[in-house]
């Protein structure tokens, strides 16, 4: 029986297999880079809220401290979103726009605003705001950026494990126990 394929067929098969291998590696690398991109991690991506709230006005121009609205930050795991009671402490006196009336209506109906979370951690990560803010004295801007300049809120830092370890746990605090996996992964 004669030869079915020409001798060059082996070369074509090897080049094809090698090309497929490199293509798969290239796609995997592209996916890995894309997964770590700011777009996927929503860094510097403005998050719209149900009410056009501006930190630039409240924290920047008016100088309201973060802790006034996010009152649980010093005593709880969560910074928490402000309740309408907090908003209405000032906005009972300040009226005049559609959105302020909208807030007042929600307040009177005891209907909370469903704020969009901007910064979040996966469920397997334990993070406690009070330890970082009160215990270590971190300023909010160290993780959340210059909020008082943001008209629309966005996540300013990646807050990945690498970011937290390299920025604080290994460098600023330099406490070996804080680099143990079980400190954050519970």
Question: Are 21 and 69 members of one domain?
Answer: no
Residue 97 pLDDT: 87
Query: What are the mean pLDDT values of the chain's consecutive 10-residue runs (186 residues total)?
Result: 78 92 95 82 88 93 94 89 90 85 93 90 91 89 94 92 88 82 90
Residue 77 CB neighbours (<10 A): 13
Number of domains in the chain: 2
Residue-wise pLDDT for 47-92, tens only, equals 999 989 999 999 999 999 999 999 999 999 888 888 899 999 988 8
Determine the number of helices (DSSP H) and then strands (DSSP E) in the chain: 10, 0
Neighbours of 72 (CB within 10 A): 15
DSSP single-letter state for residue 94: -
* The pLDDT value given to residue 167: 87
Domain region containing 63:
48-81+117-184
How many angstroms separate the first and last alpha carbons of the chain?
A: 67
pTM beyond 0.95, yes or no: no
pLDDT value for 1: 64
Same domain, 160 and 137: yes
Predicted local distance difference test score (pLDDT) of residue 148 = 95
Are 24 and 76 found together in one domain? Answer: no
15 & 76 share domain: no
**Using alpha carbons only, what angle is made at residue 6 by residues 3 and 10, rounded to the nearest 5 degrees?**
110
| Judgement on whether residues 127 and 165 belong to the same structural domain of the protein | yes
């Amino acid at each position: 029986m004669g030869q079915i394929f020409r001798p060059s067929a082996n070369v074509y098969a090897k080049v094809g297999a090698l090309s497929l291998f490199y293509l798969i590696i290239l796609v995997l690398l592209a996916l890995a880079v894309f997964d770590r991109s700011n777009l996927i991690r929503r860094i510097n991506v403005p998050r719209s809220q149900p009410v056009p709230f501006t930190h630039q006005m409240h924290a920047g121009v008016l100088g309201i401290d973060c802790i006034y609205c996010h009152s649980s930050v010093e005593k709880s795991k969560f910074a928490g979103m402000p309740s309408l009671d907090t908003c209405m402490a000032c906005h009972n006196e300040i009226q005049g726009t559609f959105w302020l009336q909208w807030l007042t209506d929600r307040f009177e109906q005891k209907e909370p605003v469903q704020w969009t979370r901007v910064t979040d951690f996966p469920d397997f990560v334990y993070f406690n705001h009070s330890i970082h803010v009160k215990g270590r004295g971190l300023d909010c801007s160290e993780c959340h950026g210059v909020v008082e300049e943001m008209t629309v809120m966005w996540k300013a830092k990646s807050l990945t494990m690498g970011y937290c370890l390299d920025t604080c746990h290994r460098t600023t605090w330099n406490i070996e126990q804080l680099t143990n996996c079980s400190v954050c992964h519970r």
